[in-house]
Amino acid sequence: MRAPWIAAAAVTALVAAGAITYAVADGDDSGMTAPAADSADAGFARDMAVHHQQAVEMSYIVRDRTDNEEIRRLAYDISQTQANQRGMLLGWLDLWELPKVSSDAPMTWMDMAGMADGKDGALMPGMATNTELTKLGKLSGKQAEVLYLQLMTEHHQGGIHMAEGCVKRCEVGVEKRLAQGMVNAQESEISLMAGMLKERGAKALS
């Protein structure tokens, strides 16, 4: 009876020790050697750079369509943050001497190829269509604010899902850390936007 218990305890200890070793060893110089073009590290850098670009664009549009200070500040925050993060992602691809595009469908690196149909500019989950962006550019005041909050909430939801894919699969410590930061920050922004939608008598689309 004792032996199996000892075996079970040993297995548990081994797994825990492995996890601790992994956590301690993680994230040091893992970004110094180039990952493969089809790796999660390269795929996330490519796809999130595209995903972020639309959030930047959308935020610039709404800043031209409303005088509301709170919305304009949120849009400023999102566009600054995502433009900079996009620069980090593209910079890593440059350092790794990897292409910015792939013939594989977006998110193939996280086994989610074909998640979005790519029609009308919505290349990845959460992305707005060109039609929606055009509409945002024509609305003004509260109507523009509500559509922006709705589109950005969906954009964040898709972005968080993709960032979680990198947290799970990426091997470059600094990239994984950035992805986890995106998850935390965008989750917090989704709840902030839910409150802002409520104040405007609206709610998220999904």
Partner 1 sequence: MGSAKKSAKDSGSGSAARKARIEEMRRAERSRERRNRILTIGVSVVIVAGLVVGATVLVRSQSDDDSTTAASDSKGTGKFVTGADGVKTWDTKLTQNHVTKTVNYPMEPPVGGDHNQVWMNCNGDVYTKAINNMNAVHSLEHGAVWVTYNSKASKTDIDALAAKVKKTPYTLMSPDDKQADPIMLSAWGKQRTVTSATDPNVDKFFSEFVQGDQTPEPGAACTNGLSQ
Interface positions with partner 1 (CB under 8 A): 1, 4-5, 7-9, 11-12, 14-16, 18-20, 22-23, 26-27, 70, 73-74, 76-77, 80-85, 87-88, 167-168, 173-174, 176-178, 180-181, 184-185, 187-189, 191-192
DSSP alpha helix (H) spans, 96-199:
130-138, 142-169, 173-199
CB of 91 to partner 1, least distance (A): 11
CB of 171 to partner 1, least distance (A): 10
CB of 101 to partner 1, least distance (A): 23
**Could you give the CA distance from residue 28 to residue 85 in angstroms, rounded to a whole number?**
20
**Could you give the CA distance from residue 132 to residue 146 in angstroms, rounded to a whole number?**
13
Query: Between 42 and 75, whose beta carbon lies closer to partner 1?
Result: 75
Cβ(47)–Cβ(107) below 8 Å: yes
- Number of other residues whose CB lies within 10 A of the CB of residue 20: 10
Query: Between 122 and 190, whose beta carbon lies closer to partner 1?
Result: 190
Query: Between 5 and 201, whose beta carbon lies closer to partner 1?
Result: 5
Cβ(125)–Cβ(48) below 8 Å: no
CB of 17 to partner 1, least distance (A): 9
Query: Between 137 and 181, whose beta carbon lies closer to partner 1?
Result: 181
CA dihedral 51, 56, 60, 63 (to 10 degrees): 100
